[in-house]
């Protein structure tokens, strides 16, 4: 067996052991992932050894169209080690490409979340910090160069079932890929602030707002408030729903955007 | 027959609720562990 073959066998064995150990692992419905149920993200990776499958139906209705555009996406997340999460996602079924979005529906999104620091105790000033690095690799369309996104995530446990999350991000894209941002807009920065409230031990409310450069055109800004619910149906199933709207001058802004999604843990 | 069945059904429902409460507590503890460690 070649050296590369041995590495592949060892990697497969490690995956098998980790996934087997993760059987019946429980993931909290309050542990957020971007897009589940809203764009708000937190600095908490998924449990070490947990493997999540996250299907989602996403929709938006922009001001230039009189119909609702839908997409079916699927994401995988793996708590590969303590404080490290690997993820990959893609769009399975999509409607029209335009107006463009932050996620390229003709690309695979993959990357990692790395936990930097942790909050010592609830209400302490220093938050849990993490970085999320995402690369979008197109598999269709005229562009084959990847797009990159870097995010700094901060999370505070405020006690009594409240958590505060702040996200700051920057995305650079090669341009000329219809469906990924607006033509001519090759970079976008954004900031996001939101809270999670545990209404009951298995039901969470998510409220957040994003302030960003307008990725649907080359100028302007967008403000996007969102509302979401997350419910731990069983130890293996989490159901989520989110909705929001864009405020701005763009004719391509979303009057309504939302998602229905689930996390299946094994 | 009915006298026997009804308490058994109630016990099953109670056990199910207890099990769910235990699972929810465990998920909460796991989340706290993620946040703190």
Tell me the per-residue pLDDT of B6-28, one tens digit each, with 9 for 90 and over: 555 566 777 778 888 888 888 88
* Residue A127, pLDDT above cutoff 80: yes
Q: Do B34 and A47 touch (CB under 8 A)?
A: yes
- Round to whole Å and give the CA distance between A46 and A204: 17
The alpha carbon of residue A31 and the mean position of all alpha carbons in its chain are separated, in whole angstroms, by: 12
Closest CA to A243 of A59, A33, A42: A59
Which run of H or of E encompasses A257? strand A254-265
- Round to whole Å and give the CA distance between A266 and A26: 8
Residues of A with Cβ-Cβ distance to B37 under 8 angstroms: 82, 118
pLDDT of residue A14: 52
Q: Do B25 and A201 touch (CB under 8 A)?
A: yes
Nearest Cβ partner for A28 among B30, B36, B37: B30
Omega prior to A63 cis, within 30 of 0? no
pLDDT band for A20, please (50, 70, 90 cuts).
very low
Q: Are strands A128-138 and A51-62 parallel, antiparallel or unpaired?
A: unpaired
Closest CA to A48 of A71, A25, A31: A25
Non-local (6+) Cβ contacts of A264 within 8 A are A52, A53, A54, A55, A236, A237
pTM: 0.86
Nearest Cβ partner for B35 among A82, A157, A232: A157
The alpha carbon of residue A141 and the mean position of all alpha carbons in its chain are separated, in whole angstroms, by: 23
Query: Distance, in angstroms, between A190 CA and closest chain B CA?
Result: 25
């Amino acid at each position: 067996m070649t050296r590369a073959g041995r590495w592949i066998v060892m990697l497969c064995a490690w995956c098998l052991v980790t996934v087997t150990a993760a059987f019946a692992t429980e993931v909290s419905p309050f542990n957020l992932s971007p897009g589940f149920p809203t764009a708000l993200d937190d600095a908490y990776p998924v449990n070490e050894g947990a493997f999540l499958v996250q299907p989602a139906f996403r929709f938006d209705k922009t001001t230039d169209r009189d119909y609702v555009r839908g997409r079916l996406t699927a994401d995988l997340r793996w708590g590969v080690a303590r404080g490290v999460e690997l993820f990959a996602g893609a769009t399975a079924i999509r409607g029209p490409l335009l107006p463009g979005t932050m996620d390229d529906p003709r690309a695979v999104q993959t990357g990692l979340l790395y936990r930097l620091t942790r909050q010592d105790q609830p209400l302490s000033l220093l938050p849990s910090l993490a970085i999320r690095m995402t690369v979008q690799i197109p598999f269709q369309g005229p562009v084959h160069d990847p797009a990159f996104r870097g995010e700094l995530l901060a999370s505070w446990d405020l006690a009594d079932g409240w958590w505060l999350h702040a996200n700051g991000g920057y995305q650079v894209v090669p341009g000329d890929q219809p469906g990924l941002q607006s033509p001519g807009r090759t970079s976008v920065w954004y900031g996001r602030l939101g809270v999670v409230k545990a209404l009951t031990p298995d039901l969470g409310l998510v409220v957040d707002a994003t302030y960003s450069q307008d990725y649907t055109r080359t100028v302007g800004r967008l403000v996007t408030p969102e509302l979401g619910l997350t419910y731990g149906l069983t130890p293996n199933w989490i159901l989520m729903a989110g909705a929001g709207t864009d405020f701005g001058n763009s004719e391509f802004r979303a009057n309504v955007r939302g998602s229905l999604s689930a996390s299946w843990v094994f | 027959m009915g006298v026997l069945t009804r308490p058994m059904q109630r016990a099953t429902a109670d056990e199910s609720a207890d099990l769910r409460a235990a699972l929810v507590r465990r998920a909460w503890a796991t989340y706290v562990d993620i946040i703190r460690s």
